[in-house]
Chains A and B, each alone.
Chain A
Amino acid sequence: MAPLLNGSAQGALLLLAALGLSLTFGQMGVINMAHGEFLMIGAFAAYLVQQVITASNLSIPVALPVAFVVAGLFGLVLEVTIIRWMYRRPLDTLLVTVGVGLILQQAALQIFPSQGVPVEKPRWLDGQLTILGYNWPLRQVFTILLATVCVAALSAWLKYTSFGRRIRATVHNRDLAETTGISTRSIDRLTFFVGSGLAGVAGVAASLIGGTNSQMGAQYIIPAFLVVAAGGIGQLKGTVIAAWAVGVALSFFAYWTTGSLAQVLAFILVIVFLQLRPQGLFTVRTRSLA
């Protein structure tokens, strides 16, 4: 039971990291390797908020929207300056954003102490919640709740608001969307802002669980990409299930073996899964050849 909860929390964190990717990669087809660094920016934003609002009980709720906006703005700048030129060159986008990630990492390493910064956990996350006779650490419950809220908000936003409708229209048929008067360029920018902002939220959650340092983004990016790929491109429910499955698998492997071996095994599991279902868990049926 313990690995199951642990894994669910780990999966929730992974889901938060992958959620923004499923938007930018899944909906827009942009492979943003700097997404992990946006997560790192969110974590550092949480730290900076704590320098202003010293009461940790209050600072984390404030940090969540701040991190969203800060990471989102970084994403917006990236989209406007670089990615807009590269929509037809997906593989090259990948390499360019690798370069952006390197620069952001190095900048964080020089601005903040190299060993990382402490993000204080709020006191209301210290306790445990007893459900069905098991003690659930509140920190993990919080991560799961946060992920649930983010997924619900994102899917509702995509489904019910006019912004969401325009995003979906642009994804389905860019030319037709443009003909109906949608400014696809501003939709691109908006999508990228939200996707990157979600990475910032994930960063706050990550800062409460692990360390906050310049390398933290790098450890999330590949698993997050694998989760999006395994879930199926542009499929929110696929991403949710894949993230949870990978989290639980990681946790069980770690329970049976060691932490690093668990990582290797989880990677291999996803790769084997992609062998069986190269299009991911859920697929959109198209007539395209690819």
Chain B
Amino acid sequence: MTKPRTTGLKPWISLSGIGVFAVLLLAVAPLVLTDHWLNNLGKYCCWAIAAVGIGLAWGRGGMLVMGQGVFFALGAYSMAMHLTLETAGDRIPGFMVLYDPLAPLPMFWEPFRSAGFTLLAIVLLPVVVAGALGYALFKRRVKGAYFAILTQALAVALAVLISSTIRETGGDTGLSDFKYFFGFVLNDPANRQMVYLIAAALLIVCLLAVWQFYRSRFGELLVATRDAEERVRFLGYDPANIKLVAFIVSALMASIGGALFVPIVGIITPAEIGAAASIFMIAGVALGGRASLFGPALGAMAVGWGQSSLGSTWPDGWTYVLGLLFIVVILFLPNGLSSLPARLAAARRKPDVPPTPAIAAAELEEARS
């Protein structure tokens, strides 16, 4: 695996790249795309927000987070509960009445009536959960495959829990039929455009945040921890704290992505947050380039687009494409498409020597750690 210190580009080039991306998403897209595709693009933006976080934790931090669905769910269900209550007004949400007409509103739903509490929950819940989980795991030096399997197990557990609590969370059918979004009528195209713009703007904010992270001292430490955790420890830093920060930030981003997913897509079900969905979120990051700045976001959007175009016309084929994508990208291009130009350039410079020695050295380092 090649491990570029930064994205390989000068910071100001990356920054202007974000600027171009912002103009495309915020100004050009609403003008040229139909309402339907703008809504789809909003959905991809939500996945991209989560993907930017995965890029931070996995690409830069070396923590393969296979359970981002958990944090996606925290944001999504917080938002969905609020929108459901807003739609229901003073009454009990429709799906609950269906199972038991006299059932009271579950206790944990009550605070989500307040818009402020909901927004706070979307931010604080993932921070608290990821903080507690990450603290426990990283302090015990749980890493590598163990960490990946444990996070995936949590995503499975949460999906099963939600599926089985049909009265409280809507179960497998999920929560849907939202009419209002913080007072705005969701059916109105103008309001839908506004929700899209919020998602796109937050994606840009997340990109700016990781841009700043990557060029900061913290970003250097994070990469150092990924590549040689013991050396970082011997230098007097606590790798657990460094990883914890990255993990919390990535969880927060997943939660924000989930929260915006709900008004844009209009439904949230356990299928959107379980094991398969968590792996789906990783696919885009792997494709785009886990350690690069734009790779995760662009990769997630590409995979999202693939799912909604190919996945709806030819669902069987889409699964094969997704599976092959994992195999081909990880096997031949572990740093994703974003590393392609550099590798091509390296191959052109030395046509007889494939650009593997540097990669092998880096891998050896990883195997030793």
Contact = CB atoms under 8 A, between A and B. Distances in A.
B324 A103 contact: yes
A89 B152 CA distance: 19
A156 interface: no
Interface residues of B, number: 46
B160 A260 contact: yes
B164 A261 contact: yes
Given A94-B64, A263-B160, A82 B142 contact: no
Contacts of B62: 91
Contacts, number: 122
Given A86-B331, A95-B282, A226 B148 contact: no
Interface stretch (A128-136, A194-202, A270-278): A270-278
A92 B369 CA distance: 15
A95 B326 contact: yes
B94 to A, nearest CB: 24
Contacts of A263: 157, 160
A185 interface: no
B230 A225 contact: no
A286 interface: no
Contacts of B319: 102-103, 105-106
Contacts of B164: 258-261
Prevailing SS type, chain B contact patch: helix
Contacts of A261: 161, 164
Nearest to B62: A91
B3 to A, nearest CB: 13
A96 B327 CA distance: 5
Prevailing SS type, chain A contact patch: helix
A31 interface: yes
B367 A88 contact: yes
Given A267-B153, A289-B230, A260 B161 contact: yes
B364 interface: yes
Interface string B335-369: 00000000000000000000000000001101101
Contacts of B163: 260
Interface centre among B1, B150, B282 (most CB of A within 10 A): B150
Interface of A: 25, 31, 82, 85-92, 94-96, 98-103, 105-106, 109-110, 218, 222, 225-226, 229, 258-261, 263-264, 267-268, 270-271, 274-275, 278, 289-290
Given A226-B153, A278-B146, 12 more contacts: A31-B145, A31-B149, A92-B1, A92-B334, A98-B279, A102-B326, A103-B323, A103-B324, A229-B149, A264-B157, A275-B136, A290-B369
